[in-house]
Amino acid sequence: MVEINQEEKYINNNSSMQITEGEEATKEQKVQNSPVNKIKITDTTLRDAHQSLLATRMTTEEMIPICESLDRVGYYSMEVWGGATFDSCMRYLNEDPWERLRILRKKLPHTKLQMLLRGQNLLGYKHYPDDVLTEFIKRVVGNGIDIIRIFDALNDLKNVEKAFEVTKKAGAQVQGAICYTISPVHTIELFVQLAKEMESMGADSLCIKDMAGLISPYDAYELVKKIKEVVSIPLQLHTHSTSGMGIMAYLKAIEAGVDVIDTAISSLAFQTSQPPVEPIVAALKGRKEDPGFDLKLLSEISAYFKRVRANHKDMESNIDNIDTNILTYQIPGGMLSNLSYQLRQQKMEEKYEDIIKEIPKVREDLGYPPLVTPTSQIVGSQAVFNVVTGKPYGIISEEVKKYLRGYYGRPPAPVSKQLLEKAGIKPEDIIQGRPADKLEPMMEKAKKEIGFLAEDIEDVLSYALFPQVAREFLKKKAAKRYRIGMEILKGQHNYEEIGYPI
């Protein structure tokens, strides 16, 4: 087994942009809390846009040629990593997600890089112990991330406190994200209270994360206004275009004094993605909020991504334009595109509408969790079981059972008593407190399990998060590194395998 130095690669490779003047940057942010400032814009094209529209299939090779142009736009930040990109790099693209981050840091020297982190879930679909979380965030910041947007799918702040703490120590900005959704228990007052608590926990900025495009223009105005009245740190709004209200919501949020908004380039905007940047820039031209972007430059960037999008047309979701049903079903764009693709693969497209209608029922039974990873997968999978079997909860997934036992945190509302009984879960079975406190450390175990396939600590982290996917990916990496054939690494010992050329 290769000996792994814990400090290996933990160097600021992003010397041109990593915020070394941390205190000054924080001070600057805190004074930018007034509606008279020009609007700042975060670009999502290299992360959430293609995750929402193309099932996260854009490759690093497709990103590199346009980076110089993107770096000249003047974005406040670019979201380039996190979410589903980490898993997809290894699972579908045969790419090292850590290498993608290092490349983008080098290619975007003048723009702050941002990522999305699922709290204690990191980039996976379950909670990870604190030793994995700590090492992961250290490596993320060391490889070039300036801002980490941190959320918990249930808005359970116990599940983000460790990530907040480690991110601050590592020297990156903490953006606390509130998962916006609509339900009998999700009120403006609740979201305002969450904002106050996140600021008290040390957040450098806040984000209203509307992952399904549900927020109406007037609700956006009211929520932004009320949060701005009680916090002193910058506020950002993230939404999607699925319902058709995205651009209107942004304009009303700007009117209310929001500091930053998320947009995508127009050729990868609309549908289940973010609103496009170009109309926002044009609408604000000459006003005090004008970001001052060059529309000609944006047009050139859009033309490039139009060609990239054509490379992945088989990954497109079946939502061609606006889907007002989202206001009833509340399903995020990435979830819709993945569900659509997976049903096509299984030749079950005719079940799509039934599954979409079943999702709100399952969500209510589970106490109205916001539909964002991993709860979107938990709810979605159970809805599929219910529809395909024709018997609601005839099969209860293991993840639903874990959810009911509190492994993901505290649901926003009480769960169905009938469902608890059907799953055989008693009150004493439900976890109280912070779920991660129940987890044993993983890093040393992961190092031993992955053995010589791990070249560095980042490979170990990839394995800790996605054991099966990472093992197969790391075998391919090792085959190239040692110039041997995959048959040998698979244990089939075909020594006549040609292997990789020198």
Mean pLDDT lowest among 24-38, 251-265, 361-375, 428-442: 24-38
For residue 499, the model assigns a pLDDT of: 32
Digit-coded pLDDT (tens) for 26-60: 434 433 444 448 999 999 999 999 999 998 999 99
Digit-coded pLDDT (tens) for 145-155: 999 999 999 99
Task: Taking residues 419-427, report their average pLDDT.
Answer: 95
Digit-coded pLDDT (tens) for 99-127: 999 999 999 999 999 999 999 999 998 99
* Rounded Cα–Cα distance for residues 163 and 151 (Å): 9
3-state class of 116 per DSSP?
strand
> Which pTM does this prediction carry?
0.87
DSSP E strand boundaries for 389-502: none
Digit-coded pLDDT (tens) for 338-373: 787 788 888 888 888 899 899 999 999 999 999 888
Digit-coded pLDDT (tens) for 481-495: 877 665 555 554 433
For residue 318, the model assigns a pLDDT of: 67
Residue 158 in this model has a pLDDT that exceeds 50: yes
Residue 458 in this model has a pLDDT that exceeds 70: yes
Secondary structure element (H or E) that encloses residue 149, with its range: strand 147-150
Residue 7 in this model has a pLDDT that exceeds 60: no
| DSSP secondary structure string for all residues of 162-183 | HHHHHHHHHTPEEEEEEE---B
Read off the pLDDT band of 497 (50, 70, 90): very low
Q: Which of 399, 277, 301, 319 minimizes the C-alpha distance to 55? A: 319
Task: Taking residues 165-170, report their average pLDDT.
Answer: 98
For residue 343, the model assigns a pLDDT of: 85
> Whole-number mean pLDDT of the chain?
89
For residue 126, the model assigns a pLDDT of: 92
pLDDT-above-70 percentage for the chain: 88
Read off the pLDDT band of 329 (50, 70, 90): confident
Task: Taking residues 301-324, report their average pLDDT.
Answer: 89
* Rounded Cα–Cα distance for residues 366 and 361 (Å): 9
* Rounded Cα–Cα distance for residues 377 and 51 (Å): 15
For residue 344, the model assigns a pLDDT of: 83
Q: Which of 344, 381, 334 minimizes the C-alpha distance to 362? A: 381
For residue 93, the model assigns a pLDDT of: 97
Q: How far is C-alpha 48 from the geometric centre of its chain's CA atoms?
A: 7
Q: How far is C-alpha 330 from the geometric centre of its chain's CA atoms?
A: 17
pLDDT-above-90 percentage for the chain: 77
For residue 10, the model assigns a pLDDT of: 38
For residue 489, the model assigns a pLDDT of: 55
Digit-coded pLDDT (tens) for 72-106: 999 999 999 999 999 999 999 999 999 999 999 99
